[in-house]
Every structure is written in C-alpha cells, then in structure tokens.
C-alpha cells in the first residue's frame, strides 16, 4: 500500500494543480502529509491540491496503523477532514498510481507532484523458517486488526500459550497490548469484529518482546510502556540479569531515556510471583533471531533460536555483536516488528534501495524537476504523527520557495484533474470523492453504533465502492 501525493499548483488565472497521491495504508502517514496542503493552500490563493489515494478511504496509517485503543491519537482526523474539505483541495480515491496512471502522466498534468506514499513493505528477519505458518509481520498483524482490506484473511493462529515479538518499538508494544488486553476494553473500540472474535478465543498467555540490544536502547516510548505496566490482569516478566549495568548509567541519561528506563526497572522490583491467572508480558534483551524452529511435523513454527549478543561502542552508536552463545524460546507465534520499508513506485522515479527512500534534497526528488517527496518515503519509516507532520510542513515550504523562485515554471498552465480524470475513466477507473468517503464513513459509524463501537470498518474494497457510489 503506497501513498502518493500529487500537488498541482494553480497560479494567476490558471489554476495550478498540485497533486498528491496517498496510496496504501503505510502511506497514510501520508495522510499526515495532507497537513502540508494547509501550508500550500494558505501559501497562495491560486494553489489547488489534488490527493490521489489507492484505497477508497483516506487517512492512511491514522486509520490503519494507530491502535484501536488509541482513539485520541485519531483525533487528528478532524484536522485532516477540514483540510480535505477546503474548496481548493480534492480527494480522489480508488486510483492506483503506477498502474492506473503513471508518475510521468501526472507530472505532465500538474505543476508539481509530491510523493507521500509511505512504506508498504517490511524488513524481513532473513532467517530460515521465516516462511512457516505462525510467523507474521507486525505490518500484516496490525493491518489485520485494523481492517486493512488486504490483510482480512490473515487468520493468525492464537492457539498457543507464548507469542514472541521481534522488536521493541511502539508497534511491538501495540501488538503485545492488543494480544493481552481484556476483551471488555477492546470491544468498545473500532477493532474489527473478526479480530475481536479471534482474540476472544485466544490462548495466548505470555508475550515476549525481543531486542538485539539492551534496556538502554529500547525503542518504544514511555506512554506505550506505561500502558503495558498499567494493563489490568497482567504482570511483567523480565530477566534481572538483563539489567546488570543499567542502574549506574541512569544518572547521566537525558530525561526522556532516564524516565523510560526507570519505568522498566520499576517492574523488576515488583513481586508478582504469587499471582495466579494473570497474563505475562516482558522484554528479552541482547537477542537476535537465528532461525525459526519448526514443529516436529514441520507444519508450523514452534520456537525461535536466538543469538546472544554483547554490546560494543558507546552512546547512540552502541551496536549488538553476536557471541557464540545461543538461546531458544518455545512459542507458537512469532511476529516480526523490526521496521517498515518503502518500495519503488514507478521506474521513472529514482529510488535508493540501500536506504529504501526516494533520494531527495529537502524534499526535492533528485534528478527531477517538479517532483517532491514527503514523510516516510522521504526520511525513512520512523517517527510519530508530529514528526511526519513537521516534515510535511518542511516539504510544503520547499515547494512554496520553488514557486516563488521560478524553479517550478507556472507560466504554462496545466490541466490537473480535468485531464487526469477523463484519462482514468477511459481506463475504466472511477474515482471516489471526499463526499463519497463521507458516505462510507456514515455507514461504518452506523454499523458500529449498533454494536457499541465507534465504527465497524468495511473490510472489502468492493463494498466500500458500492457504498461510495450509491
């Protein structure tokens, strides 16, 4: 799922279309880049912005990435909606850029095009057994409980007691939290009905999050960790041996890292030994995956073999180096949460395969004119909403500068969507407008209200289109 942003920039008497394409859920951080349009729309009264999105629904990761039990994080949708409803902004969903239309065709129709299609792929562990049933990417698991159409058939196997998550970032914590949350809390969220039913039958009692380095390098942030610590009916499951040199290092840490580390260490001091009937969650440090171990009949994953690491270097540059020691954890499910990865969208667009981003200078795509990028596809797939939002403002400023300096030539008018939409129609592609999305929104809200949820997401693209075009 990729999001492309296309901006067309109107100028003087001719509307300058700027087109932005948001595709794929991972590109929805791409929806965050919609905020860039506010800058652009405010930058000149002549700017028009068209947003192309592969799915019929907007908002990207805010809809498909943010966990269902974090509804307050989704409040930003209200800001996006205001932007999308601006009279000089048009949302065009159900358009697959790269297939239904090429980047070059868009660049011909618009003065400027912005790629904000995010990271559709994920980094793989690169170990044998990774393809066994029972091994999932966090991207697919999150897509499954969040109603991403292409993940609706995932059917994760939750029939075993222990689940291992590779990775200790916020996505790993989201996955752990959804696996261990009491059903009473989840059933009031917009988690899909299918996921709710699967979780209701879950036998998972223990979730371990494995990281290559130590407690001082853990990648999650404190709010998410605090939620795990406070989760009812659970207890932490840590290894004190993993924390050997941590206490001494505390005093010199910057405040955010210090508070986070103190919170993890607090869990070591609590005595949970006597507690019955609680589910357990914990970190395992200094471990890298070596191999996914198959069950006796080879039909599924039954464990993971891990290299034990030692740390080398200092400060942020600390790296994990494997020793000869190995460890094994028996488990029935492995979720790899080691990072997303952008993919190339179109052969006409340069792509840096090593860093998995579109090579750029302050958002201007290298070796091109009138092509820009923003968000994860520009900087790499990390950061919270505010990070990506700030980045998109930077790209907007770059575009406005280029308009002013003449680097974008607006003396020639460009047709924008008045050329693109008929072209798409000729190819059998009908677009979904923001008003059409609002019909989908109303239907999902109506179905959700009937079962005490904020919405019941439609899982099928054809169903979305049927509602959109009624």
The answer to whether 383 is annotated as binding is yes
Q: Which is nearer to other proteins, 239 or 386 (CB)?
A: 386
Q: Which is nearer to other proteins, 38 or 208 (CB)?
A: 38
Q: Which is nearer to other proteins, 105 or 262 (CB)?
A: 262
Six token digits for residue 356: 């998995």
The answer to whether 308 is annotated as binding is no
Residue 372 DSSP label: E
The answer to whether 30 is annotated as binding is no
Task: Indicate if the alpha-carbon torsion angle 329, 323, 211, 137 is positive or negative.
Answer: negative
Q: Which is nearer to other proteins, 219 or 311 (CB)?
A: 219
CA dihedral of residues 252, 253, 254, 255 (deg, nearest 10): -110
d(C-alpha 29, C-alpha 62), whole Å: 7
DSSP for 278-331, written as a single string: -EEEEEE-SEEEEEEEEPTTSSSEEEEEEEEEEEESSGGG-EEEEEEEEEEEE-
Q: Which is nearer to other proteins, 149 or 339 (CB)?
A: 339
Closest approach of Cβ 377 to other proteins, in Å? 14
The answer to whether 53 is annotated as binding is yes
The answer to whether 314 is annotated as binding is no
Closest approach of Cβ 188 to other proteins, in Å? 10
Q: Which is nearer to other proteins, 4 or 356 (CB)?
A: 356
Closest approach of Cβ 123 to other proteins, in Å? 8
Closest approach of Cβ 382 to other proteins, in Å? 5
The answer to whether 459 is annotated as binding is no
Dihedral pair phi/psi, residue 145, rounded to 5°: -75, -15
Closest approach of Cβ 180 to other proteins, in Å? 13
Closest approach of Cβ 286 to other proteins, in Å? 19
The partner residues of 208 in beta bridges, in order of sequence, read 164, 282
Whether the CB-CB separation of 353 and 337 falls below 8 Å is answered with no
The answer to whether 425 is annotated as binding is no
Q: Which residues of this chain interact with other proteins, rule CB under 8 A?
A: 35, 38-39, 70, 72-73, 75-76, 78-79, 182, 184-185, 221-223, 226, 230, 232-233, 255-256, 259-260, 275, 278, 339, 355, 379-387, 389-391, 393-394
The answer to whether 212 is annotated as binding is yes
Dihedral pair phi/psi, residue 275, rounded to 5°: -75, 130
Six token digits for residue 66: 């943010």
* Residue 207: partners with Cβ closer than 8 Å, 6 or more residues away: 162, 163, 164, 165, 175, 176, 179, 180, 279, 280, 281, 282
Binding-site members for NADP(+) are 168-171, 212-213, 224, 383
Binding-site members are 53, 61, 97, 168-171, 212-213, 224, 376, 383-385
């Amino acid at each position: 799922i990729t999001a492309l942003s296309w901006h067309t920039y109107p100028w003087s008497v001719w509307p300058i279309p700027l087109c932005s394409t948001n595709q794929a859920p991972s590109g929805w951080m791409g929806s965050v880049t919609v905020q860039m349009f506010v800058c652009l729309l405010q930058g000149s009264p002549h700017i028009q912005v068209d947003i192309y999105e592969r799915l019929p629904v907007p908002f990207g990761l805010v809809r498909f990435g943010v966990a269902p039990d974090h509804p307050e994080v989704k409040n930003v949708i209200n800001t996006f909606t205001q932007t999308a409803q601006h009279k000089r902004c048009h949302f065009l969903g159900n358009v697959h850029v790269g297939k239904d239309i090429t980047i070059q065709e868009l660049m011909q129709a618009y003065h400027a095009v912005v790629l904000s299609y995010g990271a559709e792929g994920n980094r793989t562990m690169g170990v044998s057994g990774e393809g066994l049933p029972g091994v999932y990417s966090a991207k697919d698991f999150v897509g499954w409980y969040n109603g991403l159409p292409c993940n609706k058939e995932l059917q994760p196997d939750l029939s075993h007691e222990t689940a291992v998550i590779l990775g200790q970032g916020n996505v790993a914590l989201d996955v752990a939290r959804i696996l261990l949350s009491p059903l009473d809390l989840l059933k009031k969220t917009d988690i899909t009905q299918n996921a709710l039913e699967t979780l209701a039958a879950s036998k998972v009692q223990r979730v371990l999050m494995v990281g290559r380095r130590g407690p001082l390098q853990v990648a999650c942030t404190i709010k998410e960790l605090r939620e795990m610590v406070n989760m009812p009916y659970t207890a932490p499951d840590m290894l004190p041996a993993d924390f050997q040199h941590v206490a001494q290092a505390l005093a010199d840490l910057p405040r955010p890292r210090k508070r986070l580390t103190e919170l993890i260490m607090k869990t070591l001091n609590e005595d949970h030994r006597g507690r019955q009937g609680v589910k357990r969650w914990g970190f395992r440090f200094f471990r890298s995956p070596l191999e996914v171990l198959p069950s006796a009949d080879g039909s599924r994953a039954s464990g993971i073999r891990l290299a034990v690491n030692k740390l080398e270097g200092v400060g942020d540059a600390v790296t994990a180096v494997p020793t000869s020691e190995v460890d094994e954890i028996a488990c029935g499910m492995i979720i790899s949460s080691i990072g997303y990865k952008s993919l190339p969208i179109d052969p006409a667009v340069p792509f840096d395969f090593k860093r998995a981003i579109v090579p750029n200078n302050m958002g201007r795509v290298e070796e091109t004119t009138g092509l820009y990028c923003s968000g994860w596809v520009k900087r790499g797939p990390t950061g919270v909403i505010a990070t990506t939002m700030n980045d998109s403002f930077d790209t907007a400023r770059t575009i406005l500068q280029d308009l002013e300096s003449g680097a974008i030539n607006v003396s020639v008018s460009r047709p924008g969507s008045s050329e693109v939409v008929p072209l798409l129609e000729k190819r059998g592609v009908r677009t979904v407008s923001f008003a059409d999305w609002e019909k989908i929104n109303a239907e999902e809200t109506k179905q959700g209200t009937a079962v005490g949820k904020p919405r019941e997401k439609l899982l099928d693209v054809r169903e979305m289109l049927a509602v959109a075009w009624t």
